[in-house]
């Protein structure tokens, strides 16, 4: 462990001087091309961007129509680019993936420090949603000591984390936290008002808890250093607002109201001033407090650690049972063990997680907590791998040892416990250790059901700080330390078993 501590200190000292990359040199001015590539995440859902059930090949939503109207006015072809929502800004800054972002991106100081943004095209507020019977919830203050679901890298997330006493559950998309609210896994949801409006239509057991608050705007993001593109987009948005095109689009999705009508009063001078200030701020790198972020990442690593270790304990115990059934059980039991192993090894882990967390609750009312569902899914999945490790160990032992033990009068159970299993464990241990290290990394998948583990915390913090290098090195060092500790522990067990 001394070597690991020394390595962490060296990496920490190296990254202490790392600055944010917000001031990186911008790419050359893209201008207006014949094909304008705009990015969004189709998982965002209604009313932004979605596939209607009656026509799954069609992509609709008010942002889809806005992008088409914008491109029609600019005289170019609209091309949609699918991209993960949480990584839209890094993808734009990297360049080459797409030209602009039209994806409910909030016009906040945090985003303006990384990209240039147009005049607003939509005004929204924050809406708190609770179950119908929870009439005592009317504001964030009423949720002290209770659980609230938010979307990652949003204004909702920042507001919830600033409110003391809340247990914040972070989600990757804006449908699952409404399901968890209905099932009682969380006590409230904080989300953008258009999302709440759509989700509450078909959920009579949920209600809007109080009026919307903290008004903000969605705007189009373009790369910093693209004044011509930004000017053309601002002019086009202004014309879409003035001639009623934007109103017609929004009315089709029941989104038009006084707040959207007020967009006409937004002035180009205000946009230029704000954008100029953002660009200036972006060219002045600010130090990232690495010691503070290290503490935050270590706290998230605790979740990774307990999920991984508990899942591996389940996987080893269940995997051993599967291996024994496959090697020494009757034919029906051997067939069922083989089927289990093939199913869990041959289907995606994410699909299994959704089935256990959402499917069981929906079909049979088994409302597992996020932690229990994560441990159960990872444990059952990795049990298939451990069963094969144990089977390889059992089959590697010469058959003569079993025959000799039985000839000496040992029962089959005693032969397994005293002769076969100790040797099988020693043979299987390197493969089990390798699976444990892999499990540390695969545990990042549990972030889709609201558990903030190490990788998810890195994604959230790197998005906020605009630093993927320094925080990435810290995160990698923590994973390396956990994996190295597992390897050292396994080698110690191997030496003990060898003796």
pLDDT, mean of residues 384-397: 89
Can you tell me the distance from the alpha carbon of 459 to that of 445, in angstroms, rounded to the nearest whole number? Answer: 13
The contacts of residue 34 (CB under 8 Å, 6+ apart) are 76, 77
Most confident residue range from 108-122, 161-175, 410-424: 108-122
Task: Indicate whether 173 belongs to any domain.
Answer: yes
pLDDT band, residue 267 (cuts 50/70/90): low
For residue 330, what is the domain's CATH number? 1.10.3720.10
Q: Are both 275 and 303 inside the same structural domain?
A: no
Q: Is the pLDDT of residue 67 over 60?
A: yes
Paired tokens of 21: 């990359």
pLDDT in tens, 85-138: 877 888 898 787 899 999 999 998 888 988 999 999 999 999 999 999 999 999
Same domain, 66 and 115: yes
Residues 326 and 454 both lie in one domain: yes
Cα angle, residue 139 at apex, residues 136 and 140 outer, rounded to 5°? 115
Query: Residue 291's pLDDT is what?
Result: 79
- In a domain, residue 106? The reply is yes
Q: CA 84, CA 41: separation in Å to the nearest integer?
A: 6
Range of the domain at 102: 22-121+217-282
Give me the residues paired with residue 60 across strands.
50
- Say yes or no: 178 and 269 in one domain: no
> Percent of the chain having pLDDT more than 90?
44
Same domain flag for 324 and 456: yes
pLDDT at 413: 76
Q: What mean pLDDT comes out for the span 279-285?
A: 40
Residue 3 is predicted with a pLDDT of 54
User: Measured between alpha carbons, how far is 452 from 176 in angstroms, rounded to an integer?
Assistant: 15
Hey, what are 487's tokens? 């390897």
- pLDDT confidence of 8, banded at 50, 70, 90? low
Confidence band of 7 (pLDDT split at 50, 70, 90): low
H or E, element range at 39:
strand 35-40
Q: 268-282, 295-309, 455-469, 473-487: which has the minimum mean pLDDT?
A: 268-282
Buried b / exposed e across 124-152, counting CB within 10 Å, b at 16+?
Answer: bbbbbbbbeebeebeebebbeeebbbbbb
Evaluate whether residue 64 is within a structural domain: yes
Domain assignment present for 39: yes
pLDDT at 164 over 60: yes
CATH number at residue 158: 3.40.190.10
pLDDT digits (tens, 9 = 90+) for 33-58: 789 999 998 877 889 988 887 777 78
Residue at 315 is within a domain: yes
Q: Are residues 192 and 223 in the same domain?
A: no
- Count of domains in the chain? 3
User: Of 234, 274, 222, 237, which Cα lies nearest the Cα of 30?
Assistant: 222
């Amino acid at each position: 462990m001394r070597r690991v501590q020394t390595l962490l200190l060296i990496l920490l000292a190296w990254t202490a001087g790392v600055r944010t990359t917000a001031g990186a040199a911008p790419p050359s001015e893209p201008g207006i091309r014949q094909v304008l590539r705009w990015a969004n995440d189709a998982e965002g859902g209604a009313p932004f961007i979605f596939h209607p059930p009656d026509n799954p090949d069609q992509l609709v939503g008010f942002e889809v129509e806005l992008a088409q109207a914008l491109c029609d006015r600019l005289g170019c072809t609209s091309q949609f680019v699918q991209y993960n929502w949480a990584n839209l800004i890094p993808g734009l800054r990297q360049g080459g993936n797409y030209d602009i972002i039209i994806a409910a991106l909030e016009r906040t100081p945090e985003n303006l420090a990384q990209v240039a943004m147009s005049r607003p095209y939509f005004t929204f507020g924050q809406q708190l949603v609770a179950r119908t019977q929870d009439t005592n919830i009317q504001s964030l203050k009423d949720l002290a000591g209770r659980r609230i679901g938010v979307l990652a890298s949003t204004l909702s997330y920042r507001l919830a984390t600033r409110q003391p006493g809340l247990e914040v559950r972070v989600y990757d998309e804006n449908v699952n936290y409404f399901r968890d609210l209905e099932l009682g896994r969380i006590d409230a949801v904080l989300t953008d008002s258009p999302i709440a409006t759509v989700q509450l239509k078909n959920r009579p057991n949920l209600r809007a808890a109080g009026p919307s608050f903290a008004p903000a705007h969605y705007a189009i993001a373009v790369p910093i250093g693209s004044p011509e593109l930004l000017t053309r987009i601002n002019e086009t948005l202004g014309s879409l607002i003035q001639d009623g095109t934007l109103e017609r689009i929004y009315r089709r999705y029941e989104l038009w109201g006084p707040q959207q009508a007020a967009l006409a009063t937004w002035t180009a001078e205000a946009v230029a001033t704000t954008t100029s200030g953002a660009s200036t701020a972006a060219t002045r790198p600010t130090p990232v407090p690495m010691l503070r972020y290290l503490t935050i990442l270590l706290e998230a690593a605790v979740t990774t650690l307990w999920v991984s270790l508990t899942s591996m304990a389940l996987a080893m115990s269940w995997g051993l049972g599967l291996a024994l059934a496959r090697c020494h059980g009757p034919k029906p039991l051997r067939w069922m063990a083989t089927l289990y192993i093939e199913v869990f090894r041959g289907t995606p882990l994410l699909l299994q997680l959704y089935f256990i967390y959402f499917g069981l609750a929906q079909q049979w009312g088994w409302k597992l907590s996020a932690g229990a569902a994560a441990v159960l899914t990872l444990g059952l999945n990795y049990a298939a791998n451990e069963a094969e490790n144990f089977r390889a160990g059992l089959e590697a032992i010469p058959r003569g040892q079993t025959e000799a033990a039985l000839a000496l009068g040992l029962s089959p159970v005693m032969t397994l416990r005293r002769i076969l299993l100790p040797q099988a464990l020693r043979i299987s241990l390197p493969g089990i250790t390798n699976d444990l290290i892999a499990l540390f990394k695969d545990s990042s998948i549990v972030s889709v059901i609201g558990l903030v583990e190490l990788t998810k915390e890195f994604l959230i913090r790197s998005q906020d700080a605009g630093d993927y290098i320094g925080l990435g090195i810290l995160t990698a060092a923590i994973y390396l330390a956990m994996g190295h500790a597992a390897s050292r522990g396994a080698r110690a067990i191997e030496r003990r078993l060898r003796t």
